[in-house]
A and B are shown apart, each in its own frame.
Chain A
Amino acid sequence: MTQQSLGEFEELVLLMVAALHDEAYGVAILEGLEEKLKKKVNISAVHVALKRIEDKGFVKSRFGGITEDRGGRRKKFYVITAVGKRMLDAQYELRNSIYKQIPKISFG
């Protein structure tokens, strides 16, 4: 796999998965994002992004146990993979290095 692309929202979701480590499932990710972004996010958008990054191999998933408050449905937990982590690192590096090139400008 050469250079895989990562959309903005996808990156956010991936970061959140990494941040929540082992406790990341749909609703948790949604709530985490809503808290950080300070705006409403639709669950379907989160699911779309999750499926995409899973297809790209940045996360893997497993089902958890049955819980009452989900109408008897199991949670699906996501964990970041090594590839995903490398991707995040690369993104971070890239942004950082460009950021550093910004001359000191004062907007007073």
Chain B
Amino acid sequence: MQALPPKRALQFLRWFCREDYLEEIEGDLTEIFIKQSESSPRQAKWKFSWSVLKYFRPQFIKTFKNQQPTTFSMYKNYFTIAWRSLLKSKAHTLIKISGLALGIASVFLMVTYIRHELDYDRYYDHYENLYRITWENENPQTRTPHPMALAMVSDFPEVESAVSLSPLWGPGLTRRTFSVRNLEKDLRFDEKEILAVDTNFFDVFRFPVVRGDAKKALKNVNGMLISESTARKYFSSDDPIGKHLAVNADDALLEVMAVFKDVPDQSHFHFDILVSYVREKSFNPKSEYYTWADFGHFNYVRLKPGADAKALEAKLLPWVRKYINVSDEYFRKATANNFGFRVQPLTDIHLKSKLRWELEPNGNIEYVYIMTAAALLTLVIACINFMNLMTAKSVDRAKEIGIRKTLGALRRQLSFQFLGEAFLVTVIALAIAVLLIEAALPFYNSLTGHSFVFSYKGTLPILIALSCVVTLLAGVYPSFYLSAIQPHSVLKGKVLIGNKGYRLRSVLIVFQFVISMALISGTTIIFNQLNYIQHKDLGFDKEEVLVIPIKNRAINKRIQTLKTELLTIDGVVAVSASSNLPGSQYNQNSISLVEAPEFEMDCSEAFVDYDLLKTMNIELGEGRFFLPENLTDTTAAFVVNETAARQLNAGSVVGKELNWYLDKNDNPIKGPVIGMMKDFHFQSIHHAVQPLIFILYPAYNHLVIKLDPRDFENKIAQIKAVYLKFDESFDFEFAFLDQQLDQQYKSEQRAGLAFGLFAFIAVTIACFGLFGIAMLSFKQRTKEISIRKVMGAPTFHLIILLLSDFTKLIFIAIVIAIPAAWWVMDNWLNNFTYNVGVHPGVFILSGFALILISWITLGYFTLRTSRINPTEVLRSE
């Protein structure tokens, strides 16, 4: 029997070798093999296999793509057809892609913002076990007593560790500014972000200490901890450990004993310098501030993993009676009203906490919701656009689909083809969107006040996920719609667009314009409200009022001299000083009438100087303001606002004696009310005016100067020169009151701008869609229009005819949008106690604007179609 060549090698050869060569090669190889196997069969087999391998080179390998016509070439054909149909109608493609790109880009920006907001306070190790203890009553607050932290650790097994911390307060619960110097290098800076903390601060807030021993530092009276950037500021590259910094001129030198990593932006509180409570207590060890009596500290706890925070919360009020004398009556009232301590998750603080005395202004969950809604709506508009344009094009593709189906294409395959096409378009749109994002980011950052960076690494997964979502959202319907086309009807030449497709497209257009309308009217209302805020009469002058922060407390002793000198400057109308000014937070203590001491109420307070009413032009209702010639004013006398008088319910309050419970002291300060001023908005107009009490006492944080409205620059230079004679140990700063007040509405202004921008984008995309649809639908109507023309219809009538279809849709959209927008915006406006309200005019105006915009969009095609030359159109048939 003849030897056979190795089977596998032969199979391999037959698989890869070109068919026109195979005959010869296999024949020759076999012949050699047979000859050789007579002498040495093994070697012959090896030789054969080796030779086969040698043929495995491009020359001899067949072209595989022709081999499997069923799959690979089908995909290739899909791609070719997709590409051709994109190129065939360029305007249509441009609209489709740019709409989608705009949509993706803006959604991406919104998602970036949302992610940023949701990502606060995730910096600390096991942040999910961190909570803040707050106090909830009629007037809820963030601050609780200092001993509570320690007591909770010793009394509750589920509390792993706890810490008290507090900013260092100046008069009127304003953060003190410190002047910190490196004496060796003669460097000096103002420092605002200083916190006093308990020794175990880093047990609760676990984050990296880069150098030194934090525990040791926090036990030391003269120790301090600084952040890495602060260390760089004072010591550049030197090792700061063991070096000294002088805090304020009168205070002792503090030794830098540890350096911690900078607190990231996304934290609800920030600090550059930490000092120990040990140090703060050493100044005034007997102070009630450190006892259970004073709810004046920020307490944070770290619970054991898996501990039930809600259960702990319920135990707190009964437990605290061990330490605080809570009367049975108050306890019953508290239980009935659900008052008591709250255990607030750290991660909720930034977005959800709006209590009295937050460490820093927090964000607002509502804006996250609004942005999420805007992001989704924009995405939906962009997807609808895509769907609409794709199905509208079905006439053009119908023949292709018919032929494909006749040739045996399955419906599944066709769906897949159109999904693939959608994906192709999405990917192109995505590439453009990336460019758009890169271009828009600096602008967007200045708008939102963040510093987002576009990093491909971090965002690529989001973008890919986004494009898959878009493909599915936008591609699924068209792919089903198109793949359902019946070949027999198409190939017979029937007109394809039935009523069904048309109706659905109309619904989608209406939907897009509902969203557009809602966004336009929403934006208008936001801007109305912002405008209202800006121009509302606040009850005091905010223009031409200069505010200089008094950072050096020593100035308070010489305030009258400073005032006198400032008044000599030409153009300075009035000078006064105050511990708190409108737009900042106020300390609150209780007041009551001496004649009815059982009714105590919380009242905001400020230490003020003579002439404050005159300087700020606040109106006096009754009585008089503090006067230098009236010496008893300096000991104990009060001026209250109208709301305080009304809530005390004492008729005319002027002349009555008042108890003022400073620092929760049982011995109130007693004094007469000498005047009542008209209400003014000392807080942002989110809130109704609260009770307010003024006390004449030199503990000021701000110098207030009323200028006449000429030549500010020159006057400020003179004021600075005078001020620097009194204090050189701090930086000289100034601001105008109206600028400071604007800060309160910063988040609204930003939201308004961002909302406006996205409304603009949404409307643009919707108009793109309208444009695309109109383009196709007018094209289909050219014959109708031509015939109408031949019959004598004037151009004007034709324009109205063409516009009326779409105008009807937009009108329906407007009608649907109004109640929804009304409801949402009414809710938003309720954030402000003082608001413009929802005016129907807004909707009429926005509606007209929308119709106008759509007419402009449709204008080009309407004119072109109505001016068509009927002979050209009708000749062809």
Contacts and interface: CB of A to CB of B under 8 A. Distances in A.
Interface of A: 25-27, 30, 42-45, 47-48, 51, 63, 69-71, 73-76
B5 A47 contact: no
Contacts of A73: 23-24, 26-27, 30
Given A47-B24, A47-B25, A63-B23, A70 B30 contact: yes
Contact of B29 (A25, A43, A63): A43
Nearest to A25: B28
Nearest to A66: B27
Contacts of A76: 23-24, 27
A26 B57 CA distance: 18
A60 to B, nearest CB: 14
A30 B32 contact: yes
A7 B274 CA distance: 85
A48 B31 contact: no
A71 B34 CA distance: 9
Contacts, number: 57
Contacts of A44: 51, 54-55
Nearest to B4: A71
Interface in B30-59: 30-32, 34, 51, 54-55, 57, 59
B59 A48 contact: yes
Contact of B26 (A25, A42, A51, A71): A71
A30 B29 CA distance: 11
A71 B32 contact: no
Given A30-B32, A69-B34, A43 B51 contact: yes
A83 to B, nearest CB: 22
Contact of B28 (A43, A48, A51): A43
Shortest Cβ-Cβ A-B pairs, 8 listed:
A73-B27, A26-B28, A76-B24, A44-B54, A71-B30, A70-B27, A27-B31, A70-B31
A34 B108 CA distance: 72
B5 A71 contact: yes
A74 B55 CA distance: 19
Contacts of B28: 25-27, 30, 43, 47, 70
Contacts of A48: 57, 59
- Chain A interface SS verdict (over half): helix
A15 B347 CA distance: 88
Contacts of A26: 24-25, 27-28, 31
A81 B21 CA distance: 20
Contacts of A43: 28-29, 32, 51
B25 to A, nearest CB: 6
Contacts of B55: 44, 47
A82 B5 CA distance: 38
A14 B54 CA distance: 21
Nearest to A61: B24
Size range of the chain B interface in the assembly: 10 to 19
A47 B21 CA distance: 9
Given A25-B24, A73-B30, A76-B24, 17 more contacts: A25-B28, A26-B25, A26-B28, A30-B32, A42-B51, A43-B28, A43-B32, A44-B54, A47-B24, A47-B28, A47-B55, A48-B57, A71-B26, A73-B23, A73-B26, A73-B27, A76-B23
A51 B57 CA distance: 13
Contacts of B60: 47
Interface of B: 5, 21, 23-32, 34, 51, 54-55, 57, 59-60
Contacts of A63: 23
A76 B5 CA distance: 20
Nearest to B26: A73
Contacts of B51: 42-44
Contacts of A45: 54
A43 B33 CA distance: 11
A76 B877 CA distance: 62
A71 B32 CA distance: 11
A82 B24 CA distance: 24
A27 B25 CA distance: 10
A63 B24 CA distance: 8
25 contacts: A25-B24, A26-B24, A26-B31, A30-B28, A30-B32, A42-B54, A43-B51, A44-B51, A44-B54, A44-B55, A45-B54, A47-B21, A47-B28, A47-B55, A51-B21, A51-B59, A63-B23, A69-B30, A70-B28, A71-B5, A73-B24, A73-B26, A75-B24, A76-B23, A76-B27
B27 A71 contact: yes
Which of B21, B25, B31, B34 gathers the greatest number of chain A CB atoms within 10 Å? Answer: B31
Contacts of B57: 48
A59 to B, nearest CB: 13
Nearest to B27: A73
Which of A69, A71, A75 gathers the greatest number of chain B CB atoms within 10 Å? Answer: A71
A105 to B, nearest CB: 42
Nearest to A64: B27
Contacts of A25: 24, 28
A48 B28 CA distance: 13
Contacts of B21: 47, 51
A45 B55 CA distance: 9
B514 to A, nearest CB: 69
A42 to B, nearest CB: 6
Nearest to A40: B47
A71 B31 CA distance: 8
Nearest to A47: B25
B663 to A, nearest CB: 101
Given A27-B32, A42-B51, A43-B51, A75 B59 contact: no
Which of B24, B29, B51 gathers the greatest number of chain A CB atoms within 10 Å? Answer: B24
Nearest to B56: A44
Nearest to A51: B59
Contact of B27 (A30, A42, A75): A75
Nearest to B5: A71
Contact of B31 (A42, A47, A51, A69): A69
A26 B27 CA distance: 9
A45 B21 CA distance: 14
B28 to A, nearest CB: 3
A90 to B, nearest CB: 26
A48 B30 CA distance: 17
A53 B752 CA distance: 78
A28 B34 CA distance: 14
Contacts of A30: 28, 32
A48 B55 CA distance: 9
